[in-house]
Amino acid sequence: MAHHFKIKQNKKGEYVAYFMYNKEPIFWTEGYKSKASAKNAIASVQKNGPGAETVEE
């Protein structure tokens, strides 16, 4: 399982969704009050991520 999402609670008790490669976090979301909101963030990345363009600044 090289790539996967993980939901963990932070010290504030918020739910954070992490995108993992092996055991390393690649990116993560803001903290959410509910696990359902973190799951919605994951669904949004899965839906919208493949078509996202890359912008260089």
Name the pLDDT band for 8 (thresholds 50, 70, 90): very high
Report pLDDT digits (tens) over 18-34. Answer: 999 999 999 999 999 99
| Ordered domains of the chain (ranges, CATH) | 3-49 (3.30.160.160)
Instruction: Tell me the H-state helices in 1-57.
Output: 35-48
pTM to 2 decimals? 0.84
Q: The tokens of 34 are what? A: 């509910």
**Residue whose structure tokens are 């390393």:** 24
